[in-house]
Amino acid sequence: MRKLALPDEILLSIQQPARYIGGEVNMCVKDPESVDIRFCMCFPDVYEIGMSHLGLQILYDMFNKMDGVYCERVFSPWTDLDQRMRKEQIPLFALESQDPVRNFDFLGITLQYEMCYTNILQILELSRIPLHSVDRTWDDPIVIGGGPCAYNPEPLADFFDLFYIGEGETVYADLLNTYKVSRAGNDSRDAFLKKAAQIPGIYVPSLYEVQYNGDGTIRSFLPSCPEAPKTVIRQVVTEMTDSVYPEKPLVPFIKVTQDRVVLEIMRGCIRGCRFCQAGMIYRPVREKNVERLKELAWQMLKNTGHEEISLSSLSSSDYRSLEEIVNFLIEQFQGKGVNISLPSLRIDAFSLDVMSKVQDVKKSSLTFAPEAGTQRLRDVINKGLSEEEILNGAFEAFQGGWNRVKLYFMLGLPTETTEDIEGIALLSEKIAERYYEIPKDQRTGKVQVVASTSFFVPKPFTPFQWAPMSTKEEFLGKARIVNHKMKEMLNHKSLKYNWHEADVTVLEGVLARGDRRVSKVIEEAYRNGALYDAWSEAFRNEIWMNAFETCGVDIGFYTSRERNLDEIFPWDFIDTGISRDFLKREWERARDGVVTPNCREHCSGCGVRQFGGGVCYEDTN
Amino acid sequence: MKIRIKFSKQGTMKFIGHLDSMRYFQKAMRRADVDIRYSEGFSPHQIMSFAAPLGVGLTGSGEYLDIEVHSSDSSRVMVKRLNEVMAEGVEILSFRRLPDGAANAMSLVAACDYTVRLREGYDNCGFWRDFFPGLNDFIQNGNLEIVKKTKKGEKQMDLRPFVYEYRLLEDRGMFLKLSAGSSVNIKPELLLEAYCLAKGQEYQPFAFLINREEVYADTGSEGSHQFTKLEAFGEEIE
Ligand code: SF4
């Protein structure tokens, strides 16, 4: 029997012991003694969330396909186990070998959302790794971060030895080699970090020095040694079809959020919505060959036994072989106990047709993401979805038997007016009215329109990186306007409106565009009990507010402040391939309400053509 | 065609609860390409049912589940195919065809065999040193009336008629054959708890390692029990 790090007494008295025992189907088993490098991959949230993340499965598979490398996993212990581990002094361990995380060569932490930052400190502390990079020795693993939040790693600068900027499939092999050579040659840890800094895409925060102006903005952000480059270039996979993909993904025992085979059909998005960070940092769009996808679908279903397969991309309707892959899935798997799920499809005749084939119309709902309530504001954010398209799509769907609609909007977008805010209610009403245009005998009961709003957080490397963010009071005021307007609508009984607290959004705003000085706030909040901030039941705003107070850090400086066009941002040392001029141009066009065509209509010269692949070259082959 | 599968669930699999075990087997059927039957409708599910849920923390050596298939290879091949896709800790022991119209495993369950042992660290001190001889004596001569908590409140109950067999094991432990199933389901913990209570000792759930050895139907006629392993209702597919 595999040994476990936790005794039965603990495992049988905490929630979901299966989170901590490993041993899942397709888990990689290697002899830790016989490998050169032990890599512990961490998703700093609970098992069920972390195991649902595609990127983790891709990297797990990639590392374990390398000779001499054994990659294992660790997730945040839930609060019940956290307490037991502290009380009984049990060090945090990896799931595969159940060995302490501290024994590993690397601890790689994926950074998917800002609200997991205190969980990172929990992982380090429970692993008995010093929180600060400067305090670590060769007895500690190299702590490396990657993922979307690494596009502004500065609020985490103190806690990480390295950051990986870009897609993990590219330079990890180089990094591991450099490490091996360094260890064999008895390099100091600092010497290794300097060597790592020379690998494209690797950022070593301790090798940079930041100076500030009197008003708190950055005066200079420069390498403090010759080894560190001035800019760190984002790593991009140019050929998606041949890139590694897990044919044998792990199959958790317990139900996780994403309990299905996930087929990544393409990376990136051609649309260029101005609020969307993913749409920028994953440029250019790169499609995966449809034949390869068919093969993967077979293999992955066979190797996991999952009862569902889902397509994954930022905007599946833009995948050029969508019809082919969808029809293939339906023909091959429909009626054989495999459900097919198709998220992020634009509502049109094709998608309605396939949706009616793969799901129960009566039980499912239609989803639109207009993001803004008026055409004017949708033009500002470059969301190429017109009211007419929404209303026609809804009407067609109603005729097809659907009667539930979900709408997603954002509040607090740049240039937003009361009219835009009220537009959310008006658009919801118009959709409901469309339903009642259908003759009574052809309707299937009542219509239900559920509108949800989230609060807009400006993100680095988007045209809105300069935009001031609304304050908490402004956000809530806007939500009240929507709520009030909804009640005035003729069909208000068919409309439902959801929004949530603004506290977390404000924090997200600080962390998203924060700098190094925010590190101490995160640490202070953690010390005072902040953990699992992404979980509303665990989030305690007052801890954070006190931490800002104690550390003398002003929230407004990072959120609601209007930023100057030539301000140096904490993330400017990263070269994503997208030119700053393009982002500036887009920010201006946004304020003028001018729409920018998508990459397939017309190339806007954003700069990523230099990577030599994807949509930028579609017409040339 | 109805199939009865016998399997063991050992090691770290004891932390996987009943619902998750069901999900585990559903996925395993697909991995092994078992030609299993599905229900109709938009979200079809496999025709599969378990004999008796095994509590979290317990291991089992003779667990059962029934499925329906359209076609099947020989028992030998099916056992092999399934074992190739199992997680460590689960082993398929037999795969047998049931006669048409056979009752499903769950409705048949009438008794279970258990072995109870003490966990390491509990076996040497005080009360625990002579635990099993004491328990043996208690079952023989003691008062086995317990208060059972039910949904409707508390209920007085005598366990004695439902302890079908008991004996000391040579390597320090106890064998128990207890009534199970829908009419009277006696978990071994009930007996252990009753004994601790009678001895004025606090019941310690983590002190025990319990393994369910086998599950039986009662094929006896009025008044006399005849326990038959669930496996015996099926026959090997050649
Ligand atoms: S270079 Fe042109 S085609 Fe390529 S991603 Fe940028 S805008 Fe799109």
Segment A251-279, tens digit of pLDDT: 999 999 999 999 999 999 999 999 999 99
Q: What are B27's two structure tokens? A: 């996925």
The torsion of the CA quartet B99, B103, B106, B107, rounded to 10 degrees, works out to: -160
Angle between helices A117-127 and A79-87 (to 10 degrees): 30
Complex ipTM more than 0.90, yes or no: yes
Q: What type of residue sits at position A259?
A: D
Annotated domain spans of chain A: 8-233, 260-359+577-621, 360-500
Contacts of A253 in chain B (CB under 8 A): 16, 20, 23-24, 87
Provide the strand spans (E) within A124-271. 142-146, 162-164, 202-203, 208-212, 218-223, 232-233, 261-264, 266-267
Q: What are A394's two structure tokens? A: 């809804």
Q: What is the pLDDT of residue B120?
A: 84
pLDDT > 70: what percent of chain B? Answer: 99
User: Which residues have any ligand 1 atom within 6 Å of their CB?
Assistant: A 283-284, 599, 603-606, 608-609, 615-616
Contacts of B45 in chain A (CB under 8 A): 337
Give the whole-angstrom CA distance, residue B39 versus residue B44.
Answer: 5
User: Which of A602-611, B206-215, B219-228 has the least mean pLDDT?
Assistant: B219-228
Most informative mutation of A287, A578, A616 for ligand 1 (most atoms within 8 A of CB): A616
Q: CB of A4 within 8 Å of any CB in chain B? A: yes
Judge: B12–A2 Cβ closer than 8 Å, yes or no.
Answer: yes
Judge: B85–A305 Cβ closer than 8 Å, yes or no.
Answer: yes
Q: What is the pLDDT of residue A575?
A: 97
In Å, how far is A518's CA from the nearest CA of chain B? 41
User: Which of A125-129, A477-481, A497-501 has the least mean pLDDT?
Assistant: A497-501
Expressed in angstroms and rounded, the spacing between residue B193 Cα and the centre of ligand 1 is 71
Nearest to A467 by CA among A281, A577, A591: A591
Of B11, B16, B44, the CB nearest to A337: B44
Judge: A305–B43 Cβ closer than 8 Å, yes or no.
Answer: no
Judge: A255–B23 Cβ closer than 8 Å, yes or no.
Answer: yes
Question: What is the CATH topology of the domain spanning A8-233?
Answer: Rossmann fold (3.40.50)
- Mean pLDDT score, B65-71: 97
Residues of chain B with CATH 3.30.70.580: 2-107
CA angle at A575 for the pair A573 and A579, rounded to the nearest 5°: 115
The number of CA neighbours under 13 Å toward the Cβ of A447 is: 28
- pLDDT tens profile A504-529: 999 999 999 999 999 999 999 999 99
Q: What is the pLDDT of residue B230?
A: 97
- Measured from the Cα of A607, ligand 1's closest atom is 1
Cβ distance B177 to B139 under 8 Å?
Answer: no
Of A9, A251, A359, the CB nearest to B27: A251
- pLDDT tens profile A120-137: 999 999 999 999 999 999
Give the whole-angstrom CA distance, residue A260 versus residue B193.
Answer: 42
List the helix and strand counts (H, then E) for chain A. Answer: 20, 19
Q: CB of A173 within 8 Å of any CB in chain B? A: no
List Cα–Cα distances, B50 to A208, B108, B217, in angstroms.
61, 11, 14
Cβ distance A464 to A280 under 8 Å?
Answer: no
Judge: B88–A23 Cβ closer than 8 Å, yes or no.
Answer: yes
pLDDT at A360 over 90: no
Domain A360-500: what homologous superfamily?
Aldolase class I (3.20.20.70)
- Mean pLDDT score, A428-436: 95
- pLDDT tens profile A368-425: 999 999 999 999 999 988 899 999 999 999 988 899 999 999 999 999 999 999 999 9
Q: Which of B13, B18, B22, B31 to mutate to test the interface with A (most CBs of A within 10 A)?
A: B31
Q: Which CATH class is domain A260-359+577-621?
A: alpha beta
Nearest to A511 by CA among A491, A492, A533: A533
Q: What are A438's two structure tokens? A: 């259908």
- The strand pairing partners of B236, in sequence order, are B96
Q: What is the pLDDT of residue A620?
A: 58
Q: Which residue of A has its CA nearest to B57?
A: A12
Neighbours of B130 (CB within 10 A): 11
In Å, how far is B50's CA from the nearest CA of chain A? 17
In Å, how far is A251's CA from the nearest CA of chain B? 9
- Mean pLDDT score, A335-347: 83
Expressed in angstroms and rounded, the spacing between residue A597 Cα and the centre of ligand 1 is 10
A553: region left, alpha or beta (phi > 0 left; psi from -120 to 50 alpha): beta
Contacts of B53 (CB under 8 A, 6+ apart): B18
Q: What is the pLDDT of residue B123?
A: 66
Contacts of A367 (CB under 8 A, 6+ apart): A347, A405, A406, A407, A408
Of B10, B16, B30, the CB nearest to A18: B16
Q: What type of residue sits at position A557?
A: F
Judge: B27–A302 Cβ closer than 8 Å, yes or no.
Answer: no
Give the whole-angstrom CA distance, residue B84 versus residue B76.
Answer: 13
Nearest to A428 by CA among A476, A466, A391, A377: A391
Place of tokens 């010759």: A226
Cβ distance A42 to A121 under 8 Å?
Answer: no
Expressed in angstroms and rounded, the spacing between residue A233 Cα and the centre of ligand 1 is 17
Cβ distance A565 to A251 under 8 Å?
Answer: no
Judge: B85–A337 Cβ closer than 8 Å, yes or no.
Answer: no
The number of CA neighbours under 13 Å toward the Cβ of A430 is: 17
Q: What is the pLDDT of residue B221?
A: 86
Give the whole-angstrom CA distance, residue A481 versus residue A474.
Answer: 11
- The strand pairing partners of B110, in sequence order, are none
Contacts of A12 in chain B (CB under 8 A): 15, 56-57, 205-206
Expressed in angstroms and rounded, the spacing between residue A617 Cα and the centre of ligand 1 is 9
Provide the strand spans (E) within A187-247. 202-203, 208-212, 218-223, 232-233
Is the CATH number 3.30.70.580 carried by domain B2-107? yes
pLDDT > 70: what percent of chain A? Answer: 100
For A25, phi then psi, to 5°, come to -60, 135
- pLDDT tens profile B146-196: 887 777 788 888 999 999 999 999 888 999 999 999 889 999 999 999 999
Q: What is the pLDDT of residue B178?
A: 97
Give the whole-angstrom CA distance, residue A506 versus residue A471.
Answer: 7
User: Which of A35-39, A196-200, A363-367 has the least mean pLDDT?
Assistant: A363-367
Neighbours of A87 (CB within 10 A): 8
Give the whole-angstrom CA distance, residue A466 versus residue A156.
Answer: 21
SS3 B53: coil
Strands A261-264 and A208-212: unpaired
Kindly report whether the peptide bond that precedes residue A249 is cis, defined as omega within 30 degrees of 0.
Answer: no
Q: What is the pLDDT of residue A538?
A: 95
Provide the strand spans (E) within B79-190. 90-97, 109-118, 145-150, 153-158, 163-169, 173-179
The torsion of the CA quartet B204, B209, B214, B217, rounded to 10 degrees, works out to: 10
- pLDDT tens profile A157-195: 999 999 999 999 889 999 999 999 999 999 999 999 999
Give the whole-angstrom CA distance, residue A102 versus residue A127.
Answer: 6
Give the whole-angstrom CA distance, residue B2 versus residue B97.
Answer: 6
pLDDT at A245 over 80: yes
Give the whole-angstrom CA distance, residue A244 versus residue A248.
Answer: 12
pLDDT at A621 over 60: no
Neighbours of A140 (CB within 10 A): 21
Q: Which of B12, B16, B58 to mutate to test the interface with A (most CBs of A within 10 A)?
A: B12
- pLDDT tens profile A12-23: 999 999 999 999
Nearest to A157 by CA among A511, A468, A452: A511
What DSSP state is assigned to residue A289?
A: P
Q: A-B interface: how many C-beta pairs under 8 angstroms?
A: 79
SS3 A263: strand
Give the whole-angstrom CA distance, residue A223 versus residue B111.
Answer: 74
Radius of gyration of chain B from its Cα atoms, rounded to whole angstroms: 19
Give the whole-angstrom CA distance, residue B219 versus residue A112.
Answer: 59
- The strand pairing partners of B214, in sequence order, are B113
One DSSP character per residue, B130-160 reads THHHHHHHHHHHS--EEEEEETTEEEEEE-G
Q: CB of A337 within 8 Å of any CB in chain B? A: yes
Cβ distance A123 to A44 under 8 Å?
Answer: yes
Contacts of A254 in chain B (CB under 8 A): 16, 20
Nearest to A618 by CA among A596, A599, A598, A597: A599
In Å, how far is B207's CA from the nearest CA of chain A? 9
Q: What are A599's two structure tokens? A: 């990459």
Judge: B45–A23 Cβ closer than 8 Å, yes or no.
Answer: no
pLDDT at B105 over 60: yes
Q: What is the pLDDT of residue B113?
A: 98
Most informative mutation of A282, A603, A611 for ligand 1 (most atoms within 8 A of CB): A603
Contacts of B33 in chain A (CB under 8 A): 302
Judge: B205–A335 Cβ closer than 8 Å, yes or no.
Answer: no
